[in-house]
Amino acid sequence: MNKELINDFVNSNKNKQENLYIPIYKHYNELRYRITYLIISLSFALITSYNYRLELLYLLSRPFLQLNQILQSTDVSEALSSIIKLCILSSLIVCFFYFLYQYWSFLVPSQYKFERIKTSLILLTILILVSLESLLIYFIIFPLICEIFSSFQVYVDNFDEKMNINDTYKIIEMSPRIGSILSSTIQIYIILSLLFQVPLVFVLLFSWNWINCFSICKNRKIVYFFLICFSSLISPPEFLSQIACLTLLSILFEFSLWLGCIFYLKNNIK
pLDDT in tens, the chain (270 residues): 444 444 544 444 444 444 455 677 777 888 888 889 999 999 999 999 999 988 888 888 777 776 666 777 777 777 788 888 889 988 988 888 888 888 888 888 877 888 788 788 878 877 887 788 888 888 887 777 777 777 776 666 665 555 555 666 666 666 777 777 788 777 778 777 777 777 777 777 777 777 777 777 788 888 888 888 888 887 767 777 778 778 888 888 888 888 777 777 776 665
Q: What is the pLDDT of residue 13?
A: 47
pLDDT, position 137: 80
Q: Which residues pair with 169 in a beta bridge?
A: 156
Q: What per-residue confidence (pLDDT) applies to 158?
A: 63
**What integer pLDDT is reported at residue 21 of this predicted model?**
56
Q: Where are the alpha helices (DSSP H) in the chain?
A: 2-20, 24-51, 53-65, 78-107, 113-136, 142-150, 178-195, 198-207, 213-218, 220-234, 239-269
d(CA 50, CA 56): 9
Burial class of residue 229 (count of CB atoms within 10 Å of its CB; 0-12, 13-18, 19+): exposed
Asked if residues 201 and 193 have their Cβ atoms less than 8 Å apart, the reply is no
8 A C-beta contact, residue 105 and residue 34: yes
Which residues is 156 bridged to in the sheet? Answer: 169
8 A C-beta contact, residue 90 and residue 56: yes
The whole-angstrom separation of Cα 82 and Cα 46 is 14
CA–CA distance, 46 with 256 (Å, rounded to integer): 37
Q: Which residues pair with 157 in a beta bridge?
A: 168
DSSP single-letter state for residue 72: B
